[in-house]
Every structure is written in C-alpha cells, then in structure tokens.
C-alpha cells in the first residue's frame, strides 16, 4: 500500500481523459466499503460536462481543479433512494432526522476515501474539496438533489501533471491515545507542533501573511470564527431544506 503511504494531493492534471469503464470499476469497488445495515446510503454524481463544471465552480470558490480535472465527483449522503424503496414496499421510512443524516454522511465518506485509494492505486491523482459542505445549497440546486440527499464530499480526479512535496504530518504520539484520552498540556502542544512550526515553508507563510504565529493564519485568515458561524447557519438551513432537520 505504498500509494497510501506516499500519497499527495494532486491539483494539476494532464489532458488525458478517464475512461468510463475505469471510473465505473473504481466506483463499484469503492462501494465495497462498510455500510450501515448494508443500506448503501450514498449516491455519486459524475460531472464531465464543461458547462456543469462551470456551474459548480463558484460553489467551490473557483478552485481551478473543478474546471481543469477531467472528472468531478460529488459524493452525497442519500436517504432518498432507501426511503422510496420503503414507501413502495408498504414500509414507513423514519429517516428525516439528524442521526440519519450522520449515518448517511458516514457511509458516503467511507466510500469517498475508498474511491480515492483505488484511484491513486491506478495512477490517478485526486484533490478533496472541503468546500462542498460550505455551499451545499448551491450544489443541491445545480445537481438537482432532491430531499434527503445532501452533498458531502467533492473529489476532482485526473492523471497527475505535478509531483508536489508530501505535506508534513503531526507525530503519531500526538494523535493516538492509549486506553483513555490524555488531554494536551502546553508542553505536549509545544512538542507536537514543533516540527510543523520549524518548516521553512510555514515560516515563510507567517512572513508573507504578516502574522505573529502560524496558528493565527488559521484563525484570522483561513478558517475564521465568523466564517464558520455563517457556514454553520447555511449547513443547518440546508439540512432543514433537505428534510434531515426540523424547524
């Protein structure tokens, strides 16, 4: 599994297209992931049409991969298909609630990661777009997602046209806890983040952003409280609109 160990996000793709047979094979194998009660609570929308990519682009804050990748995949939490099956089989579905959203989102995310692993193993490169849950309302409209379907992850896929450096990761001991969670002391935090803070690219990042610390780039520029609060409002409003939450 060197492809997992050596992986890096790929944001630049060659013009080579992905054959439909290959894409379908990867998706079919990805659907072997664990799924709650074998309900398979997900759907995938495949975007190849350039006009559709242009429509999706603003929802992803115009990240260029949405246009430049041959294939864009939107993985959705989906209780619509299962609920329709219930209704057509004299069964009363009860999945219009937050836990069902979380269950379907979980199913969808396990499949998303499985797809990424399989694609990378075949020499493709992927980029995970976290923007999907920031503007779910726009994506729902563009992709015609009905009630009980919620977009949860977007992956751009193509043949790599770059070989970026592998990003740093925190030391294992900073993430894994034996038996119980050992909360972090100041000393532990200093030690866990020391390597990240020592990297020249991160020091450069602090310099060009004119912040005092690397953490301030996250809190004041990239992932701000006010943005998070606005996006949380959108998330709840969209979950209500899609039928997963009550007013």
Shorter beta-carbon distance to a copy of itself: residue 48 or 68: 48
C-beta of 161: minimal distance to a copy of itself in Å?
19
* Inter-residue contact 148 to 78 (CB < 8 Å): yes
Sign of the dihedral through C-alpha 236, 240, 246, 247: positive
How near is the Cβ of 22 to a copy of itself at its closest, in Å?
A: 13
CA-nearest of 31, 158, 150 to 100 is 150
User: Do residues 63 and 135 make contact, with C-beta atoms less than 8 angstroms apart?
Assistant: no
Rounded Cα distance, 94 and 86, in Å: 10
Which is closer to a copy of itself, CB of 159 or CB of 205?
205
Q: Cα–Cα distances in Å, from 128 out to 8, 131, 158, 194?
A: 11, 9, 12, 27
Least distance from a copy of itself to the Cβ atom of residue 78, Å: 8
Q: Which two tokens stand for residue 89?
A: 């089989």
> How many angstroms separate the CA atoms of 112 and 58, rounded?
22
What is the closest distance, in whole angstroms, from the C-beta atom of residue 73 to a copy of itself in the complex? 9
Closest to a copy of itself by CB, 161 vs 171, is: 171
CB of 245 to a copy of itself, least distance (A): 9
Distance between CA atoms of residues 221 and 227, nearest Å: 10
């Amino acid at each position: 599994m060197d492809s997992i160990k050596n992986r890096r996000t790929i944001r630049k793709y060659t013009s080579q297209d992905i054959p439909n047979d290959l894409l379908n094979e990867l998706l079919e194998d990805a659907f072997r992931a664990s799924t709650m009660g074998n309900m398979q609570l997900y759907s995938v929308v495949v975007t190849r049409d350039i006009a559709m990519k242009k429509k999706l682009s603003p929802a992803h804050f115009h990240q260029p991969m949405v246009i430049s990748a041959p294939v864009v995949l939107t993985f959705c939490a989906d209780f619509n298909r299962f609920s329709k099956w219930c209704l057509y089989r004299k069964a009363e579905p009860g999945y219009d609630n937050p836990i069902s959203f979380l269950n379907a989102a979980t199913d969808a995310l396990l499949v998303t990661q499985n797809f990424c692993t399989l694609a990378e193993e075949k020499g493709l490169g992927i980029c995970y777009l976290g923007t999907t849950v920031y503007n779910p309302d726009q994506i729902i409209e563009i992709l015609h997602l009905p009630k009980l379907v919620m977009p949860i992850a977007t992956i751009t896929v193509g043949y790599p046209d770059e070989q970026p450096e592998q990003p740093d990761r925190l030391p294992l001991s900073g993430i894994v806890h034996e038996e119980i969670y050992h909360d972090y002391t100041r000393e532990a935090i200093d030690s866990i983040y020391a390597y990240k803070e020592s990297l020249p690219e991160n020091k450069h990042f602090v310099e060009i952003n004119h912040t005092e610390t690397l953490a301030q780039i996250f809190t004041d520029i990239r992932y701000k409280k006010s943005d998070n609060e606005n996006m949380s409002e959108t998330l709840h409003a969209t979950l209500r609109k899609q039928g997963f939450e009550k007013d």
